[in-house]
Amino acid sequence: MNEQKPNVDELLAKAKEPARKAPAWHAFYRGKVGLGVKCAITGYDDFAIWYTPGVAQPCREIAEAPERVFEYTNKGNMVAVVSDGTRVLGLGDIGPHAALPVMEGKGLLFKYLGGVDAFPVTLATKDPEEIIQAVKWIAPAFGGINLEDFASPKCFYILDRLREELDIPVWHDDQQGTAAITLAGVLNALKVVGKDPKRATYSVIGSGAANIAFVRVALTYGIPAGNIMMVDSKGILNPQREDLEKDKDHNPYKWDYANRTNKERRTGGIAESLVGTDVCVAASKPGPGTIKPEWIKRMAKDAIVLACANPVPEIWPWEAKEAGARIIGTGRSDFPNQINNSIGFPAIFRGTLDVFAKTITDEMAIAAAEAIAKTAEDKGLRDDYIVPSMMDLDVFVNEAVAVGLKAIEQGVARRALSAAELRKQAETMIKRARAEVEILQKAGHVPPPPKV
């Protein structure tokens, strides 16, 4: 990869451009998603069927056979995007009102990329028990729950409880979604450099929701725990860390990994964790300078660096390249190898909903990761192409099929479809969603955004 060192001022100016345009565009449309009609209306007599008195008959049949709710309503394609606004993007605790544009944006991606109807639900409480109860109260109307931007560590507790207590899939995209796309990037990068993922060593920088889930999914995939080192703001996780032991009741996840990972029992910080490792996965403090070039120089030959902090990665790609890293990925679209969970969650839910699954297992997330990786591999892997982009539209269908089949295999699906049926369903739903947008734009019902 012959990457030219870009002008940093130009890069930062480009990075600020979306924020400059966003207020005017959001105000122009007064948001990004809304409810649409999906049934035919041929005349006013139809309302007697869609509403009273005709609607009473489907209601009776659902009361007698609750599973028919998936047949007679949109429950099977409706996801609630739920947040309390305590950890929104890089903005922190900004509250439920300020979080709403993000949740609407999530709904837009769900619909356009996965054909999934997603409705934002922001809650005016930060209490985990109240959040759990609120989600349980609204669950009958939805086929799935997407938890979004909850602060760590309560996000783990909320997810675990809801997964146990609801019979619809509950998913925290900052956990499983990020883990799926990150695992896909790691697997393909290691293919490019010719290393075995179960023999490689990993430095995982940052111990929040994203990386804790990545490590959990990586362990489920079969990567040995001892080959992984995790680093938080105070250093490498290890059993000698008294602060982690004292906090284990509040954050048991970090204490668990402190004991299970890091077979060498290294101490120190980011610099020490990178010595001799094959892969660096970072989801921590935005850079530049969080990871220094001289630390990258101490990694193994053909090192892989996925620096995923936004809006600025922990180290600039050209700095990592000059320091000896062979493959570099970031969370940004203006560099090669964007590690972005938008490639994952719309299709993962598409496949989940198409089989009316009761949950989303880590194995389903791994199936999605493998489908993402194979889609890129089929197009030809190289140093600057290890994962598909959102423009590689076939990746969403491939993921949906893989996830649906895994749900059936694991016995968490309410209905069984063949691979061909899953593919047809996913293609139909995704194409329809995109066609609706195109038709509305061509007809002028959705005007072009204002020039700013």
Q: What's the pLDDT tens digit per position in 55-105?
A: 999 999 999 999 999 999 999 999 999 999 999 877 889 999 999 999 999
Beta-sheet strand order (sheet of 279-282)? 235-236, 228-232, 202-205, 279-282, 304-307, 327-330
- For 126-164, the pLDDT digits (tens) are 999 999 999 999 999 999 999 999 998 899 999 999 999
Residue spans per domain, the chain: 28-168, 176-330, 341-442
Judge whether 175 and 148 are in contact, CB under 8 Å. Answer: no
Give the per-residue pLDDT at 89. 79
What distance in Å separates the CA atoms of residue 163 and residue 387, rounded to the nearest whole number?
29
Residue 246 has pLDDT above 90, yes or no: yes
- For 258-292, the pLDDT digits (tens) are 999 999 999 999 999 999 999 999 999 988 899 99
Candidates 51, 198, 263, 301; catalytic one: 51
> Is residue 112 among the annotated active site residues?
no
Candidates 75, 106, 358, 406; catalytic one: 106
Give the per-residue pLDDT at 14. 76
Domain spanning 341-442: which superfamily? NAD(P)-binding Rossmann-like Domain (3.40.50.720)
Q: Which two structure tokens, joined as six digits, stand for 203?
A: 């430095």
What distance in Å separates the CA atoms of residue 194 and residue 300, rounded to the nearest whole number?
13
Task: Give me the sign of the Cα torsion angle 233, 106, 407, 405.
Answer: negative
Judge whether 426 and 388 are in contact, CB under 8 Å. Answer: no
Give the per-residue pLDDT at 1. 45
What distance in Å separates the CA atoms of residue 306 and residue 283, rounded to the nearest whole number?
9
Give the per-residue pLDDT at 5. 61
Assess whether the region 28-168 and the region 341-442 belong to the same CATH fold. Answer: yes
- For 382-438, the pLDDT digits (tens) are 999 999 988 888 999 999 999 999 999 999 999 999 999 999 999 999 999 999 999
CATH topology for 28-168 is: Rossmann fold (3.40.50)
Phi and psi dihedrals of 325, rounded to 5?
-65, 140
> Is residue 106 among the annotated active site residues?
yes
What distance in Å separates the CA atoms of residue 446 and residue 452, rounded to the nearest whole number?
18
The arithmetic mean of pLDDT across residues 242-252, rounded, is: 92
Give the per-residue pLDDT at 419. 97
Give Rg (Cα) of the chain.
23
CATH topology for 176-330 is: Rossmann fold (3.40.50)
